Amino acid sequence: MIKSLKFLFVGIIFGIVLVKSEAVSWYRIYEMFKFESFHMYGIIGSAVTTGVLLLLLSKQLKLKNIEDSLMRVPKKDNGLIRYIIGGTIFGLGWALSGACPGPMYILIGTGAFSVIIVILAALLGTFVYGILKNKLPH
């Protein structure tokens, strides 16, 4: 119970930051793909810059996680086709619905219950991928 409280807390902070950054707004995603505002690029750019620094620093200092092993980021499998095609399909849906998998949940909290339709459809999309997985090029 105490163990899961820390994840609940991280989730709450995540939800607050994404609402306050306006990254949960459909309009901000549209504006980003129109290149008409720096806002979203600033968020992603400064997040990645900070992330690179934090991870490099933790590597240098050999920081350990709470399980007392070295901090570790899971490695993505090598590949090209799955990333470019899967990524493009994701981008099409992201721009149309204006919501990626984090904001989808957060938007429920803002009272936008119609986003539940988007979540159900995303579950269906994930399920269909699971069925087709072995037939798709990766």
Partner 1 sequence: MQSILEPWPWYICGPLIAIIMFVLIYFGKTFGMSSNLRTLCAIGGAGKKVKFFDFDWKAQRWNLTIVLGAIIGGYIAHFYLSTPTNINLNPETVKTLSSLGFENAGQSLLPTELYSWDAMLSIKGLAILIIGGFLVGFGTRYAGGCTSGHAITGLSSLQLPSLIAVIGFFLGGLIMIHLLFPLIFG
Six-digit token pair at 53? Answer: 């620094």
Among 2, 60, 62, 111, binds partner 1 (CB under 8 A): 111
The site map against partner 1 for 31-50 (x = CB under 8 A) is xxxx-xxxxx-xxxxxxxxx
Give yes or no for residue 62 binding partner 1 (CB under 8 A).
no
Coil, helix or strand for 124?
Answer: helix
Residues 10-29 that bind partner 1 (CB under 8 A): 10-29
Q: Collect all residues with Cβ–Cβ distance below 8 Å to 100 and sequence separation of at least 6.
A: 90, 94
Among 60, 62, 78, 135, binds partner 1 (CB under 8 A): 78
| Residue among 55, 41, 43, 1 nearest 19 (CA) | 43
Count residues near partner 1 (CB under 8 A): 114
Give yes or no for residue 2 binding partner 1 (CB under 8 A).
no
* One-letter-per-residue 3-state SS of 61-83: CCCECCCCCECCCCCCCCCCHHH
The site map against partner 1 for 80-109 (x = CB under 8 A) is x-xxxxxxxxxxxxxxxxxxxxx-xxxxxx
